[in-house]
Structure 1
Amino acid sequence: MSCADLDRLVISYTIEGEAVNKTPLRVGSGKREQYLGPVDNPVMTYMVGGEERPVIPGSSWKGVLRSEAERLVNSSPEIRDKKNWPSWRACNIFELAENEQLRKKEEEDPCVVCSIFGNTGVASHLYFFDSLPKEKPTLHVIRRVAIDRVVGSQSPGRLFDVQVVPPETRWGFRMKIVNIDLKSDTPQAFLLSHLLRQLIDGIQIGGGRSVGYGEIKLVSETLLVKRMRIEDGILKKDEYRGEEALKILGVK
């Protein structure tokens, strides 16, 4: 698969459905004043229909899945030799930003992660959209105690408030995959199928993950997959739901 093939459409998948957070969720914004005083860690919100609604930005979905992709690739180097996939590696995107020679080399021959998610010189094949709750939730504020790292106990008087979206909140979810055939025997399809399985099984997103916040999963029963492909010069469109959607995504 070429990473420069986005000037034409070969195949695309639009995945729509609902996600539900199983634990308190906090995608934070800067500190701001509330009616009852300042909240130290408020959630990010959008104005929707004149009301503030919490939001999971598309960038948060992309970031957590990219990290998961890098973790899988770095922990399974044997796949590179077993499948004869030279691109089965994960580059250091921070090194690319500082080393122009390394960046140019990676743009010419990107690792499997960059070939999917993109980098400074390679376009992404994935598009994530902001997620809003299906219904307006009541935001909760949790008061926590800061821990003194030196003595390993609480710091007297060091309290802080964390605003969270309560568990069992339903969110809209939408993402798009362009020019990666999920039925192909390629490292990109293999890695993407793993990531989609992770979304259905559950991942953590946002702040407070080390204390259990942010566990969220796609609700498989709500999935709708719209596939578009070009065959013999003809645009073909198909839709899949439920079990068929999971199969077309390579998840089941």
Structure 2
Amino acid sequence: MSQKFPNLLHASLNYRRVVSFEMHTIEFLRVGESKVIDIGSPDLPILKIKEQKGGSIRYKPIIPGSSIKGAVRSEYSRVLSGLPEDTLKSLFGYSKLFTEKDLKSNYDSYEIFNIIVNSMTNKENNEVGLLDLLFGSDFFASPTIFTDAIVSNEAEEYIGERYHIRIDVDRDAVMENSLLNVEAVYPGTRFTFKIIYNSLDFGVKDESPVDKAFNVLVSSFLDNREMFLGGFKSRGYGLVRLKKIDDRKFTPEELVGVKNG
């Protein structure tokens, strides 16, 4: 029965919101691959794309949208978890952040849909976590999509190699005469990416708690925020600053090219 209504939760779209951000690296940034691909490659390379310009070839870093989404979800969750219940209700009209029940194992898609709608419309019976509805979970496809971040500024080089002491994890000690070379994006590099949000019809009037949570996320929480992204944070990597540069909303009619009036 769990496959009977696979797309029910995304059956009705109120609007789509597309928000563009610029990301500025303040420190070296590592969002990397897990293994060496070529002889002579650094021990820890990063994700990058090859660009041919004239007769020369250079590499531009790329940050997967999944990495940005994971970092943003973690940061947003950490901050909201520190707010008292009455503040959450004032912001979103909803206070439950995380789902405690195992909905996927115990209910079919139709029942989950009804539980979500009941949580959205009944202020005294919030069973589903707001952050699960905003960012997605194992029982609910995410209405919030993060695109990959691509380089937006011109520079001769975007990527450098740095050397660090190698640690023997078995002994938890420094390995003698052994250095680890890693690739990292230079500070001062700029990226752009988009967050695309699909506002779903939960049967509530005006904005749903999920709509409100997204609005707070992109309108105040992320704009001009400094946060950490990627690996090697304990070695001083990953500090970036985000800035909102565009924000557009599209109705279903606009998405299919229908003009009102």
TM-score computed with the length of structure 1 as normaliser: 0.72
Q: Partner residue of 1:26?
A: 30
> After alignment, is 172-181 or 150-159 more displaced?
150-159
Residues 218/157 of structure 1: CA separation in 2 closer, same or farther (3 Å cut) = same
Q: Partner residue of 1:127?
A: 145
Pair 1:91 & 2:111 matched = no
Q: 1:204 aligns with which of 211, 228, 242?
A: 228
Question: 1: distance between equivalents of 2:175 and 2:166?
Answer: 6
Residue 174 of structure 1 and its aligned partner are, at CA, apart by 1.4
Residue 160 of structure 1 and its aligned partner are, at CA, apart by 0.7
List runs of 5+ in structure 2 lacking aligned partners. Answer: 1-6, 117-127
Q: Deviations over 1:116-142 (max 9, x none)?
A: 111122121111111111236331111
User: 2:43–2:181: 8 Å Cα contact kept in structure 1?
Assistant: yes
User: 1:88–1:187: 8 Å Cα contact kept in structure 2?
Assistant: no
Q: Partner residue of 1:117?
A: 135
Q: Partner residue of 2:196?
A: 176
User: 1:96–1:103: 8 Å Cα contact kept in structure 2?
Assistant: no
Pair 1:10 & 2:14 matched = yes
Give the aligned residue type for 1:65.
V
User: 2:49–2:60: 8 Å Cα contact kept in structure 1?
Assistant: yes
Question: 2: distance between equivalents of 1:209 and 1:102?
Answer: 40
Residue 72 of structure 1 and its aligned partner are, at CA, apart by 2.7
Residues 6/101 of structure 1: CA separation in 2 closer, same or farther (3 Å cut) = closer
Computing the radius of gyration from Cα coordinates, the structure with the larger value is 2
Residue 171 of structure 1 and its aligned partner are, at CA, apart by 0.8
Q: Partner residue of 1:101?
A: 106
User: 2:14–2:252: 8 Å Cα contact kept in structure 1?
Assistant: yes
Structure 1 residue matching 2:106: 3-state secondary structure: helix
Structure 2 residue matching 1:115: 3-state secondary structure: helix
Question: 1: distance between equivalents of 2:108 and 2:160?
Answer: 44
1:53-68 superposed matches below 5 A: 53-68=60-75
Q: 1:156 aligns with which of 176, 189, 197?
A: 176
Question: 2: distance between equivalents of 1:73 and 1:219?
Answer: 20
User: 1:230–1:236: 8 Å Cα contact kept in structure 2?
Assistant: no
Structure 1 residue matching 2:150: 3-state secondary structure: coil
Residue 165 of structure 1 and its aligned partner are, at CA, apart by 0.4
> After alignment, is 37-46 or 56-65 more displaced?
37-46
Q: Deviations over 1:210-245 (max 9, x none)?
A: 23311222234xx121212369xx9789xxxxxxxx
Structure 2 residue matching 1:114: 3-state secondary structure: helix
Residue 206 of structure 1 and its aligned partner are, at CA, apart by 0.9
Residue 155 of structure 1 and its aligned partner are, at CA, apart by 3.2
Question: 2: distance between equivalents of 1:14 and 1:64?
Answer: 19
Q: Deviations over 1:66-92 (max 9, x none)?
A: 212322343235247854955522237
Give the aligned residue type for 2:47.
M
Residue 167 of structure 1 and its aligned partner are, at CA, apart by 0.4
Q: 1:144 aligns with which of 152, 164, 175?
A: 164
List runs of 5+ in structure 1 lacking aligned partners. Answer: 238-252
